[in-house]
Amino acid sequence: MYSQIDSNKRNSVILMMLFITIIIGIGYGLEYLWGDGSYIIVWGAIILSLLMTSVSYFKGDKIALTSTGAKPISKETDRSIYNMVENLCIASGIPMPKVYIIEDMAINAFATGRKPELSSIALTRGAIQKLENEELEGVIAHELSHVKNYDIRFMTLVAVLVGTIALISDIFIRAQFFGGKRESKNSHPAFLIVGIVLAILSPLIAELIKLAISRKREYLADASASLLTRYPDGLASALEKINKEKIPLKKASTATAHLFIASPFSGKQKLKSLFSTHPPIEERIKKLRGMI
């Protein structure tokens, strides 16, 4: 378990370094092509991206909960669920999050909040009714692991970088086609073509890296949950039920898909693993079963 956690943390850092390298590369390419202080475009895009992302960073949890129709519960209204979450929080040493229920019979759950003190977890009605206690405990432990590992904050940073790359690329392409001719010692047509191709491909590459990071964080949360419950088979069994059922979430959204324990689009569409926010469930089950 510890080996799996260390491996996923290391791979996530490597992927983040790739992001930064891409941004620096685009900025250097702009300066090389135009040679007139065009780094200002890069900084402008970074500032704009940060401003746009700050809304999701500070209000993203409320947006996610509202968009899924999640309703808060209390110890008085749902004592067994509340106690299960509370016991796992005590074991993991994190503050008690707010607990929500989504009135949907699909088996799913998600966590949100930029830090443990401001976190929330949401469980679908299907997860509560269809999972055994050990399975539901594994699912809750997975979501609490996202909170403890600061995955939501980490993925927000990734979103900033993806947005920055997309903005820089868009500005570059618009400037080339609609900004008139720009004179530069390096403005050879071949360089221009290469620059445009890279500007078009960079957002796609960035998005693929973001999805790869999201999948790595899921593996890390699985390993962390197993470490917390000391029973990997509980989460593995829950994932098996999710995989067999394949019921899509009624209020699924691409904006919040990466938050869930499994893709909320199951049954609606068959995405290739390369473009999925989650690793294959079969592979996750295999890793969980292999933990000692």
Catalytic residues: 143
How does DSSP classify residue 260?
B
Which residues lie across from 112 on neighbouring strands?
120
120-124 and 71-72 beta bridge pairing:
unpaired
Q: How far apart are CA 277 and CA 257, in angstroms?
A: 7
**Nearest CA among 123, 150, 95 for reference residue 86:** 95
Report whether 236 contacts 261 (CB < 8 A): no
Helix (H, G, I), strand (E, B) or coil at 187: coil
**E strand or H helix at 211, and its extent?**
helix 189-229
Instruction: Give me 58's structure tokens.
Output: 């500070």
